[in-house]
Amino acid sequence: MTTLIVVNRPEKWPLDIPGVQVVAARTYLTDRRFSDLKGTKVFNLCRHYAYQRLGYYVSLLAEARGHRPMPDINTIMNLRNLSMPRGESQELDEEIQRVLKPIKGDEFTVSIYFGRNMAARYKRLALMLFNLFPAPFLRAEFVRENDWWSLTHIGTIPFSEVPDTHRDFVQASATTYLSRDHRRPSQRNRPKYDLAVLYDPTEKYKPSNDRAIKRFCDAAWDLGINTELIGKSDYGRLAEFDALFIRETTAVNHHTYRFSRRAANLGLVVIDDPLSILRCTNKVYLAELLDHAEIPAPRTVIAHEDNLDDVIIHLGLPCVLKRPDGAFSQGVMKAADVSELRGVIEAMLEDSELVIAQEWMPTEYDWRIGVLDGRPLYACRYHMAKEHWQIAKHDGTSSRYGKVEPVAIHEAPPKVVDIAVKATRLIGRSLYGVDIKEVSGKPHVIEVNDNPNLDAGYEDAILKDELWRRIADVFRQRIEAQRDGAAK
Protein backbone atom coordinates (compact mmCIF):
# COMPACT_ATOMS: atom_id res chain seq x y z
CA MET A 1 0.00 0.00 0.00
CA THR A 2 1.41 3.40 -1.04
CA THR A 3 1.71 6.01 1.71
CA LEU A 4 1.59 9.72 0.89
CA ILE A 5 2.03 12.84 2.99
CA VAL A 6 0.28 15.73 1.27
CA VAL A 7 1.41 19.24 2.20
CA ASN A 8 1.14 22.72 0.72
CA ARG A 9 4.87 23.11 0.08
CA PRO A 10 6.98 19.91 0.12
CA GLU A 11 10.24 21.87 0.02
CA LYS A 12 9.46 23.14 3.54
CA TRP A 13 8.60 19.71 4.95
CA PRO A 14 11.60 18.85 7.17
CA LEU A 15 10.83 15.27 8.22
CA ASP A 16 12.38 12.29 6.49
CA ILE A 17 10.24 9.20 7.00
CA PRO A 18 11.27 5.94 5.28
CA GLY A 19 8.82 4.54 2.74
CA VAL A 20 6.66 7.69 2.67
CA GLN A 21 6.32 10.01 -0.34
CA VAL A 22 5.78 13.74 0.26
CA VAL A 23 3.54 15.37 -2.36
CA ALA A 24 2.31 18.90 -2.96
CA ALA A 25 -1.43 19.29 -2.48
CA ARG A 26 -1.98 20.76 -5.96
CA THR A 27 0.03 17.92 -7.49
CA TYR A 28 -2.03 15.31 -5.68
CA LEU A 29 -5.25 16.96 -6.82
CA THR A 30 -4.32 17.42 -10.48
CA ASP A 31 -1.69 14.83 -11.46
CA ARG A 32 -3.31 11.79 -13.05
CA ARG A 33 -0.65 9.50 -11.55
CA PHE A 34 -2.16 9.95 -8.12
CA SER A 35 -5.79 9.60 -9.14
CA ASP A 36 -4.98 6.20 -10.68
CA LEU A 37 -3.23 4.81 -7.59
CA LYS A 38 -4.97 2.00 -5.73
CA GLY A 39 -4.79 1.11 -2.05
CA THR A 40 -3.21 4.41 -1.03
CA LYS A 41 -3.01 5.97 2.43
CA VAL A 42 -3.09 9.78 2.34
CA PHE A 43 -1.97 11.76 5.38
CA ASN A 44 -3.32 15.24 4.73
CA LEU A 45 -1.11 17.82 6.43
CA CYS A 46 -2.29 20.88 4.55
CA ARG A 47 -2.43 24.15 6.44
CA HIS A 48 -6.20 24.57 6.25
CA TYR A 49 -9.20 22.21 6.00
CA ALA A 50 -11.95 24.83 5.71
CA TYR A 51 -14.68 24.24 3.15
CA GLN A 52 -13.30 24.38 -0.43
CA ARG A 53 -9.73 25.03 0.72
CA LEU A 54 -6.90 22.77 -0.49
CA GLY A 55 -6.93 20.58 2.61
CA TYR A 56 -10.65 20.01 2.26
CA TYR A 57 -10.30 19.00 -1.39
CA VAL A 58 -7.38 16.64 -0.68
CA SER A 59 -9.48 14.57 1.74
CA LEU A 60 -12.60 14.84 -0.43
CA LEU A 61 -10.88 13.62 -3.59
CA ALA A 62 -8.92 10.96 -1.69
CA GLU A 63 -12.22 9.42 -0.60
CA ALA A 64 -13.61 9.64 -4.15
CA ARG A 65 -10.51 7.82 -5.46
CA GLY A 66 -10.87 5.00 -2.94
CA HIS A 67 -7.82 6.18 -0.99
CA ARG A 68 -7.63 6.29 2.82
CA PRO A 69 -7.33 9.95 3.90
CA MET A 70 -6.46 11.19 7.38
CA PRO A 71 -8.33 13.26 8.31
CA ASP A 72 -11.33 12.15 6.28
CA ILE A 73 -14.23 14.48 5.48
CA ASN A 74 -16.29 13.14 8.39
CA THR A 75 -13.47 14.01 10.82
CA ILE A 76 -13.07 17.47 9.29
CA MET A 77 -16.77 18.15 9.86
CA ASN A 78 -16.66 16.70 13.39
CA LEU A 79 -13.72 18.98 14.23
CA ARG A 80 -15.69 21.93 13.00
CA ASN A 81 -18.73 21.03 15.12
CA LEU A 82 -16.89 19.39 18.04
CA SER A 83 -19.13 16.38 17.47
CA MET A 84 -18.58 13.00 19.13
CA PRO A 85 -20.64 9.95 20.19
CA ARG A 86 -22.42 10.37 23.52
CA GLY A 87 -20.81 7.31 25.09
CA GLU A 88 -17.36 8.49 24.11
CA SER A 89 -18.14 11.98 25.41
CA GLN A 90 -18.81 10.67 28.92
CA GLU A 91 -15.63 8.58 28.96
CA LEU A 92 -13.61 11.51 27.64
CA ASP A 93 -15.05 13.87 30.28
CA GLU A 94 -14.01 11.48 33.04
CA GLU A 95 -10.45 11.33 31.69
CA ILE A 96 -10.28 15.11 31.29
CA GLN A 97 -11.30 15.69 34.92
CA ARG A 98 -8.82 13.07 36.14
CA VAL A 99 -5.69 14.25 34.36
CA LEU A 100 -6.31 18.01 34.43
CA LYS A 101 -7.31 18.22 38.08
CA PRO A 102 -3.77 19.14 39.28
CA ILE A 103 -3.44 22.00 36.75
CA LYS A 104 -3.13 25.34 38.55
CA GLY A 105 -4.50 27.69 35.90
CA ASP A 106 -7.94 27.73 34.27
CA GLU A 107 -6.76 27.17 30.69
CA PHE A 108 -4.74 24.32 29.23
CA THR A 109 -3.65 23.12 25.79
CA VAL A 110 -2.65 19.62 24.69
CA SER A 111 -0.78 18.99 21.43
CA ILE A 112 -1.25 15.57 19.85
CA TYR A 113 1.02 14.13 17.17
CA PHE A 114 -0.28 10.92 15.60
CA GLY A 115 -2.11 10.10 18.81
CA ARG A 116 0.79 10.91 21.16
CA ASN A 117 1.63 13.70 23.58
CA MET A 118 5.10 14.47 24.88
CA ALA A 119 4.00 14.04 28.52
CA ALA A 120 3.30 10.49 29.67
CA ARG A 121 0.59 11.83 31.99
CA TYR A 122 -1.57 12.78 28.99
CA LYS A 123 -0.93 9.61 26.99
CA ARG A 124 -4.45 8.19 27.38
CA LEU A 125 -6.16 11.56 26.89
CA ALA A 126 -4.19 12.18 23.69
CA LEU A 127 -5.07 8.75 22.32
CA MET A 128 -8.77 9.17 23.16
CA LEU A 129 -8.90 12.52 21.33
CA PHE A 130 -7.02 11.06 18.37
CA ASN A 131 -9.45 8.14 18.19
CA LEU A 132 -12.40 10.54 18.21
CA PHE A 133 -10.84 12.96 15.73
CA PRO A 134 -8.28 11.01 13.69
CA ALA A 135 -5.96 13.66 12.26
CA PRO A 136 -2.14 13.69 12.22
CA PHE A 137 -1.62 16.89 14.25
CA LEU A 138 -4.20 18.11 16.76
CA ARG A 139 -4.40 20.89 19.33
CA ALA A 140 -7.01 20.56 22.09
CA GLU A 141 -7.92 23.53 24.29
CA PHE A 142 -9.54 23.21 27.71
CA VAL A 143 -11.08 25.75 30.08
CA ARG A 144 -12.00 25.31 33.76
CA GLU A 145 -15.17 26.90 35.13
CA ASN A 146 -16.64 26.14 38.56
CA ASP A 147 -13.96 23.50 39.06
CA TRP A 148 -15.00 21.60 35.90
CA TRP A 149 -12.74 21.24 32.87
CA SER A 150 -14.37 21.44 29.42
CA LEU A 151 -12.98 20.79 25.96
CA THR A 152 -13.72 24.10 24.24
CA HIS A 153 -11.88 23.65 20.96
CA ILE A 154 -9.98 21.01 19.03
CA GLY A 155 -8.41 21.61 15.65
CA THR A 156 -5.54 20.68 13.41
CA ILE A 157 -2.06 22.19 13.69
CA PRO A 158 -0.10 23.31 10.61
CA PHE A 159 3.45 21.98 10.82
CA SER A 160 4.72 25.57 10.76
CA GLU A 161 3.09 26.08 14.17
CA VAL A 162 4.74 23.07 15.80
CA PRO A 163 7.20 24.44 18.40
CA ASP A 164 10.89 23.77 17.74
CA THR A 165 11.08 21.95 21.07
CA HIS A 166 8.50 19.44 19.77
CA ARG A 167 10.20 18.67 16.44
CA ASP A 168 12.22 15.65 17.58
CA PHE A 169 9.15 14.14 19.24
CA VAL A 170 7.07 14.78 16.12
CA GLN A 171 9.73 13.09 13.98
CA ALA A 172 9.71 10.04 16.25
CA SER A 173 5.90 9.88 16.46
CA ALA A 174 5.43 10.26 12.71
CA THR A 175 8.13 7.71 11.92
CA THR A 176 6.66 5.18 14.34
CA TYR A 177 3.13 5.64 13.04
CA LEU A 178 3.86 5.87 9.32
CA SER A 179 6.65 3.32 9.06
CA ARG A 180 4.88 0.40 10.70
CA ASP A 181 5.80 -2.85 8.99
CA HIS A 182 3.37 -5.58 10.01
CA ARG A 183 4.71 -8.26 7.72
CA ARG A 184 5.80 -11.54 9.25
CA PRO A 185 9.35 -12.72 8.54
CA SER A 186 8.79 -14.93 5.51
CA GLN A 187 10.18 -15.64 2.08
CA ARG A 188 6.73 -15.35 0.56
CA ASN A 189 5.68 -12.32 -1.44
CA ARG A 190 4.44 -9.27 0.39
CA PRO A 191 0.66 -9.39 0.87
CA LYS A 192 -1.41 -7.17 -1.38
CA TYR A 193 -3.98 -6.17 1.24
CA ASP A 194 -4.18 -5.23 4.93
CA LEU A 195 -6.97 -6.47 7.19
CA ALA A 196 -7.61 -5.47 10.80
CA VAL A 197 -9.10 -8.01 13.22
CA LEU A 198 -10.86 -6.30 16.13
CA TYR A 199 -10.27 -8.76 18.94
CA ASP A 200 -10.09 -8.68 22.72
CA PRO A 201 -8.42 -11.84 24.07
CA THR A 202 -9.60 -10.96 27.60
CA GLU A 203 -13.30 -10.76 26.67
CA LYS A 204 -15.28 -13.15 28.86
CA TYR A 205 -17.57 -14.53 26.15
CA LYS A 206 -15.46 -13.82 23.08
CA PRO A 207 -16.85 -15.19 19.80
CA SER A 208 -13.53 -16.77 18.71
CA ASN A 209 -10.77 -18.44 20.67
CA ASP A 210 -7.12 -17.59 20.15
CA ARG A 211 -6.48 -20.62 17.93
CA ALA A 212 -9.33 -19.59 15.65
CA ILE A 213 -7.85 -16.11 15.20
CA LYS A 214 -4.46 -17.61 14.33
CA ARG A 215 -5.98 -20.00 11.79
CA PHE A 216 -7.89 -17.18 10.13
CA CYS A 217 -4.75 -15.01 9.96
CA ASP A 218 -2.77 -17.89 8.42
CA ALA A 219 -5.49 -18.48 5.81
CA ALA A 220 -5.63 -14.77 4.99
CA TRP A 221 -1.85 -14.60 4.58
CA ASP A 222 -1.95 -17.47 2.07
CA LEU A 223 -4.43 -15.41 0.00
CA GLY A 224 -2.27 -12.28 0.01
CA ILE A 225 -3.87 -10.56 3.01
CA ASN A 226 -1.80 -9.32 5.91
CA THR A 227 -3.72 -9.27 9.20
CA GLU A 228 -3.19 -7.27 12.36
CA LEU A 229 -5.01 -7.67 15.64
CA ILE A 230 -6.33 -4.34 16.87
CA GLY A 231 -8.20 -3.25 19.98
CA LYS A 232 -10.52 -0.53 21.19
CA SER A 233 -7.71 2.05 21.34
CA ASP A 234 -6.93 1.63 17.61
CA TYR A 235 -10.02 3.44 16.32
CA GLY A 236 -7.91 6.19 14.81
CA ARG A 237 -5.89 3.70 12.75
CA LEU A 238 -8.72 2.24 10.66
CA ALA A 239 -7.72 4.22 7.58
CA GLU A 240 -4.53 2.14 7.39
CA PHE A 241 -6.46 -0.99 6.38
CA ASP A 242 -8.45 -2.35 3.48
CA ALA A 243 -10.84 -4.40 5.58
CA LEU A 244 -12.09 -4.98 9.14
CA PHE A 245 -13.13 -8.30 10.68
CA ILE A 246 -14.91 -7.81 14.02
CA ARG A 247 -14.29 -10.67 16.42
CA GLU A 248 -15.65 -9.06 19.56
CA THR A 249 -19.22 -9.35 20.77
CA THR A 250 -21.12 -6.59 18.99
CA ALA A 251 -23.70 -4.14 20.32
CA VAL A 252 -25.10 -0.86 19.02
CA ASN A 253 -24.18 1.28 22.04
CA HIS A 254 -20.63 -0.04 21.95
CA HIS A 255 -17.24 0.57 20.39
CA THR A 256 -17.72 -2.39 18.00
CA TYR A 257 -20.55 -0.55 16.25
CA ARG A 258 -18.54 2.67 16.09
CA PHE A 259 -15.64 0.73 14.54
CA SER A 260 -17.98 -0.85 12.00
CA ARG A 261 -19.57 2.47 11.02
CA ARG A 262 -16.27 4.29 10.67
CA ALA A 263 -14.74 1.44 8.66
CA ALA A 264 -17.73 1.41 6.33
CA ASN A 265 -17.57 5.21 5.94
CA LEU A 266 -13.89 4.88 5.03
CA GLY A 267 -14.76 2.38 2.32
CA LEU A 268 -13.30 -0.67 4.05
CA VAL A 269 -14.78 -4.12 3.57
CA VAL A 270 -16.43 -4.80 6.94
CA ILE A 271 -17.72 -7.94 8.62
CA ASP A 272 -19.86 -7.30 10.64
CA ASP A 273 -21.19 -4.35 8.69
CA PRO A 274 -23.09 -1.69 10.68
CA LEU A 275 -26.49 -2.51 9.17
CA SER A 276 -26.14 -6.18 10.12
CA ILE A 277 -25.23 -5.19 13.67
CA LEU A 278 -28.27 -2.90 13.90
CA ARG A 279 -30.61 -5.56 12.55
CA CYS A 280 -29.29 -8.60 14.40
CA THR A 281 -28.59 -7.21 17.86
CA ASN A 282 -32.22 -6.28 18.52
CA LYS A 283 -34.62 -9.18 18.96
CA VAL A 284 -37.67 -6.92 18.64
CA TYR A 285 -36.62 -6.04 15.11
CA LEU A 286 -35.84 -9.67 14.27
CA ALA A 287 -39.21 -10.90 15.54
CA GLU A 288 -41.05 -8.41 13.33
CA LEU A 289 -38.79 -9.14 10.36
CA LEU A 290 -39.34 -12.90 10.51
CA ASP A 291 -43.08 -12.47 11.02
CA HIS A 292 -43.51 -10.19 8.00
CA ALA A 293 -41.43 -12.53 5.83
CA GLU A 294 -43.56 -15.46 7.03
CA ILE A 295 -40.51 -17.40 8.17
CA PRO A 296 -41.51 -19.95 10.84
CA ALA A 297 -40.46 -18.89 14.32
CA PRO A 298 -41.76 -19.48 17.87
CA ARG A 299 -44.98 -17.60 18.61
CA THR A 300 -43.93 -14.21 19.86
CA VAL A 301 -45.43 -11.32 21.84
CA ILE A 302 -43.73 -7.94 22.16
CA ALA A 303 -44.32 -7.37 25.86
CA HIS A 304 -44.54 -4.08 27.73
CA GLU A 305 -45.97 -2.93 31.04
CA ASP A 306 -49.55 -2.79 29.75
CA ASN A 307 -49.95 -6.16 28.02
CA LEU A 308 -48.72 -8.86 30.42
CA ASP A 309 -52.05 -10.68 30.14
CA ASP A 310 -51.53 -11.02 26.38
CA VAL A 311 -48.38 -13.04 27.01
CA ILE A 312 -50.34 -15.66 28.96
CA ILE A 313 -53.28 -15.68 26.54
CA HIS A 314 -51.20 -16.06 23.37
CA LEU A 315 -48.22 -18.06 24.61
CA GLY A 316 -49.28 -19.85 27.77
CA LEU A 317 -46.85 -20.85 30.50
CA PRO A 318 -44.03 -21.61 30.72
CA CYS A 319 -42.66 -19.10 28.22
CA VAL A 320 -39.29 -17.59 27.38
CA LEU A 321 -38.48 -13.91 28.03
CA LYS A 322 -35.63 -12.12 26.30
CA ARG A 323 -33.96 -8.76 26.60
CA PRO A 324 -33.88 -7.18 23.13
CA ASP A 325 -30.08 -6.93 23.11
CA GLY A 326 -28.96 -10.03 25.02
CA ALA A 327 -26.12 -12.25 23.76
CA PHE A 328 -24.55 -15.62 24.62
CA SER A 329 -27.74 -16.84 26.38
CA GLN A 330 -27.56 -13.85 28.72
CA GLY A 331 -30.71 -11.82 29.25
CA VAL A 332 -32.87 -14.87 28.48
CA MET A 333 -35.17 -16.22 31.23
CA LYS A 334 -37.93 -18.79 31.54
CA ALA A 335 -41.13 -17.92 33.41
CA ALA A 336 -43.01 -20.96 34.73
CA ASP A 337 -45.90 -19.20 36.47
CA VAL A 338 -47.69 -15.84 36.61
CA SER A 339 -45.66 -14.51 39.52
CA GLU A 340 -42.38 -15.36 37.83
CA LEU A 341 -43.60 -13.91 34.54
CA ARG A 342 -44.48 -10.59 36.14
CA GLY A 343 -41.25 -10.41 38.14
CA VAL A 344 -38.98 -11.15 35.16
CA ILE A 345 -40.75 -8.78 32.78
CA GLU A 346 -40.80 -5.95 35.31
CA ALA A 347 -37.07 -6.41 35.94
CA MET A 348 -36.29 -6.39 32.20
CA LEU A 349 -38.48 -3.32 31.61
CA GLU A 350 -36.18 -1.34 33.88
CA ASP A 351 -33.61 -1.39 31.05
CA SER A 352 -35.84 -1.51 27.98
CA GLU A 353 -39.30 -0.29 27.02
CA LEU A 354 -40.02 -3.64 25.35
CA VAL A 355 -39.34 -7.32 26.10
CA ILE A 356 -39.56 -10.34 23.79
CA ALA A 357 -41.83 -13.13 25.01
CA GLN A 358 -41.81 -16.41 23.07
CA GLU A 359 -43.52 -19.74 23.37
CA TRP A 360 -41.71 -22.48 25.26
CA MET A 361 -40.26 -24.85 22.66
CA PRO A 362 -38.05 -27.43 24.40
CA THR A 363 -35.59 -29.41 22.24
CA GLU A 364 -32.56 -31.56 22.92
CA TYR A 365 -30.40 -29.24 20.83
CA ASP A 366 -30.52 -26.15 18.61
CA TRP A 367 -29.21 -26.11 15.10
CA ARG A 368 -26.67 -23.41 14.29
CA ILE A 369 -26.17 -22.81 10.59
CA GLY A 370 -23.34 -20.47 9.65
CA VAL A 371 -24.05 -18.43 6.53
CA LEU A 372 -21.48 -16.30 4.72
CA ASP A 373 -22.15 -14.15 1.67
CA GLY A 374 -25.54 -15.78 1.20
CA ARG A 375 -24.19 -19.35 1.23
CA PRO A 376 -24.17 -21.98 4.02
CA LEU A 377 -20.72 -22.31 5.61
CA TYR A 378 -21.03 -24.76 8.50
CA ALA A 379 -23.60 -26.59 10.61
CA CYS A 380 -23.56 -27.59 14.28
CA ARG A 381 -25.91 -29.05 16.82
CA TYR A 382 -25.64 -27.04 20.05
CA HIS A 383 -26.87 -29.31 22.82
CA MET A 384 -28.41 -27.93 25.99
CA ALA A 385 -26.18 -27.55 29.04
CA LYS A 386 -26.55 -30.45 31.47
CA GLU A 387 -29.72 -30.11 33.59
CA HIS A 388 -30.55 -26.81 31.90
CA TRP A 389 -32.89 -25.64 29.13
CA GLN A 390 -30.36 -23.46 27.30
CA ILE A 391 -27.11 -24.24 25.51
CA ALA A 392 -25.27 -22.17 28.14
CA LYS A 393 -25.88 -21.83 31.86
CA HIS A 394 -24.32 -18.83 33.58
CA ASP A 395 -24.01 -18.99 37.38
CA GLY A 396 -22.41 -15.86 38.72
CA THR A 397 -18.74 -16.13 37.78
CA SER A 398 -18.91 -19.57 36.12
CA SER A 399 -20.52 -20.85 32.93
CA ARG A 400 -21.44 -24.31 31.71
CA TYR A 401 -22.04 -25.24 28.08
CA GLY A 402 -23.67 -28.09 26.26
CA LYS A 403 -21.90 -30.28 23.73
CA VAL A 404 -21.17 -28.83 20.28
CA GLU A 405 -21.67 -31.42 17.55
CA PRO A 406 -20.34 -30.33 14.13
CA VAL A 407 -22.22 -31.69 11.11
CA ALA A 408 -21.34 -31.52 7.42
CA ILE A 409 -23.65 -29.11 5.59
CA HIS A 410 -24.85 -31.84 3.24
CA GLU A 411 -25.79 -34.01 6.21
CA ALA A 412 -27.88 -31.34 7.94
CA PRO A 413 -31.63 -31.38 7.19
CA PRO A 414 -32.15 -29.44 3.92
CA LYS A 415 -35.16 -27.61 5.38
CA VAL A 416 -32.99 -26.34 8.24
CA VAL A 417 -30.23 -25.12 5.91
CA ASP A 418 -32.69 -23.54 3.47
CA ILE A 419 -34.58 -21.59 6.13
CA ALA A 420 -31.28 -20.33 7.58
CA VAL A 421 -30.17 -18.95 4.23
CA LYS A 422 -33.63 -17.46 3.63
CA ALA A 423 -33.56 -15.70 7.02
CA THR A 424 -30.11 -14.17 6.42
CA ARG A 425 -31.23 -12.71 3.09
CA LEU A 426 -33.49 -10.41 5.10
CA ILE A 427 -30.42 -9.04 6.87
CA GLY A 428 -27.62 -8.78 4.31
CA ARG A 429 -24.66 -10.70 2.88
CA SER A 430 -22.35 -10.71 5.88
CA LEU A 431 -21.41 -13.57 8.24
CA TYR A 432 -24.31 -14.87 10.32
CA GLY A 433 -25.15 -17.72 12.68
CA VAL A 434 -28.79 -18.78 12.50
CA ASP A 435 -30.24 -20.60 15.54
CA ILE A 436 -33.03 -23.01 14.63
CA LYS A 437 -35.22 -25.38 16.62
CA GLU A 438 -36.58 -28.39 14.76
CA VAL A 439 -39.93 -29.55 16.16
CA SER A 440 -41.78 -32.48 14.55
CA GLY A 441 -39.61 -32.10 11.47
CA LYS A 442 -40.43 -28.41 11.06
CA PRO A 443 -37.66 -25.79 11.53
CA HIS A 444 -38.30 -22.58 13.48
CA VAL A 445 -35.82 -19.69 13.41
CA ILE A 446 -34.95 -18.55 16.92
CA GLU A 447 -32.36 -15.89 16.14
CA VAL A 448 -30.06 -14.57 13.44
CA ASN A 449 -26.72 -13.61 15.00
CA ASP A 450 -24.41 -11.16 13.28
CA ASN A 451 -21.33 -12.19 15.24
CA PRO A 452 -21.51 -16.00 15.43
CA ASN A 453 -19.12 -18.20 17.36
CA LEU A 454 -16.17 -19.33 15.28
CA ASP A 455 -13.98 -21.42 17.56
CA ALA A 456 -11.15 -23.65 16.46
CA GLY A 457 -12.07 -27.26 17.18
CA TYR A 458 -15.82 -26.65 17.01
CA GLU A 459 -17.33 -24.73 14.09
CA ASP A 460 -14.30 -25.58 11.92
CA ALA A 461 -14.21 -29.28 12.87
CA ILE A 462 -15.60 -30.44 9.52
CA LEU A 463 -14.03 -28.02 7.04
CA LYS A 464 -10.91 -27.36 9.14
CA ASP A 465 -8.58 -24.87 7.35
CA GLU A 466 -11.03 -24.59 4.45
CA LEU A 467 -13.51 -22.73 6.66
CA TRP A 468 -10.99 -19.99 7.39
CA ARG A 469 -9.88 -19.87 3.77
CA ARG A 470 -13.47 -19.32 2.63
CA ILE A 471 -13.94 -16.42 5.04
CA ALA A 472 -10.62 -14.85 4.01
CA ASP A 473 -11.49 -15.33 0.35
CA VAL A 474 -14.72 -13.35 0.74
CA PHE A 475 -12.64 -10.47 2.10
CA ARG A 476 -10.21 -10.79 -0.81
CA GLN A 477 -12.95 -10.81 -3.43
CA ARG A 478 -14.72 -7.82 -1.89
CA ILE A 479 -11.53 -5.76 -1.55
CA GLU A 480 -10.68 -6.42 -5.18
CA ALA A 481 -14.22 -5.61 -6.30
CA GLN A 482 -14.09 -2.29 -4.41
CA ARG A 483 -10.73 -1.37 -5.93
CA ASP A 484 -11.88 -2.28 -9.41
CA GLY A 485 -15.01 -0.17 -8.88
CA ALA A 486 -13.01 2.81 -7.61
CA ALA A 487 -10.71 2.58 -10.62
CA LYS A 488 -13.56 2.81 -13.14
Supply the CATH number for residue 39's domain: 3.40.250
Are 174 and 86 members of one domain?
yes
pLDDT band at 404 (very low <50, low <70, confident <90, very high): very high
Are 350 and 383 members of one domain?
no
Is the pLDDT confidence value at 360 over 90? yes
Are 220 and 198 members of one domain?
yes
Is the pLDDT confidence value at 38 over 60? yes
Q: Is residue 127 part of a domain?
A: yes
Q: Is residue 208 part of a domain?
A: yes
pLDDT band at 185 (very low <50, low <70, confident <90, very high): very low
Is the pLDDT confidence value at 184 over 50? no
Are 167 and 89 members of one domain?
yes
Interacting residues of 427 by C-beta distance below 8 A, sequence separation 6+: 275, 276, 279, 280, 289, 448, 450
Is the pLDDT confidence value at 355 over 60? yes
Q: Could you give phi then psi for residue 414, rounded to 5 degrees? A: -55, -35
Are 381 and 439 members of one domain?
yes
* Predicted local distance difference test score (pLDDT) of residue 398: 74
Last residue of a domain, one of 314, 335, 360: 360
* Predicted local distance difference test score (pLDDT) of residue 422: 98
* Predicted local distance difference test score (pLDDT) of residue 84: 64
User: How many CB atoms neighbour CB 80 within 10 A?
Assistant: 12
* Predicted local distance difference test score (pLDDT) of residue 191: 73
Domains in the chain: how many in total?
Answer: 5
Is the pLDDT confidence value at 418 over 90? yes
Q: Is residue 340 part of a domain?
A: yes
User: How many CB atoms neighbour CB 14 within 10 A?
Assistant: 10
Q: Is residue 479 part of a domain?
A: yes
Are 137 and 172 members of one domain?
yes
Q: Is residue 465 part of a domain?
A: no
- The H-or-E segment that residue 263 falls in is helix 255-265
* Predicted local distance difference test score (pLDDT) of residue 281: 87
**88-92, 181-185, 455-459, range with the lowest pLDDT:** 181-185
Q: Is residue 460 part of a domain?
A: no
Are 250 and 210 members of one domain?
yes
Last residue of a domain, one of 30, 54, 76: 76
Last residue of a domain, one of 125, 149, 178: 178
Are 434 and 374 members of one domain?
yes
Is the pLDDT confidence value at 150 over 70? yes
Supply the CATH number for residue 340's domain: 3.30.1490.20
Interval 59-65 mean pLDDT: 87
Q: Is residue 457 part of a domain?
A: no
Instruction: Write 335-338 long-range contacts (CB < 8 A, 24+).
Output: 338/312
* Predicted local distance difference test score (pLDDT) of residue 375: 97
Are 209 and 262 members of one domain?
yes
Supply the CATH number for residue 203's domain: 3.40.50.20
* Secondary structure string (H, E, C) spanning 10-51: HHHCCCCCCCCEEEEHHHHHHCHHHHCCCCEEEEECCCCCCC
Nearest to 228 by CA among 170, 362, 238: 238
Mapped onto helix, strand or coil, the DSSP state of residue 111 is strand
Average pLDDT over the chain, rounded to whole? 90
Are 106 and 149 members of one domain?
yes
Condensed to tens digits (0 to 9), the pLDDT of residues 190-237 reads 578 999 999 999 998 899 999 999 999 999 999 999 999 999 989 888
**Could you tell me the residue range of the domain that residue 116 belongs to?**
82-178
Nearest to 368 by CA among 274, 273, 469, 455: 455
Write down the pTM of the prediction. Answer: 0.77
Are 245 and 157 members of one domain?
no
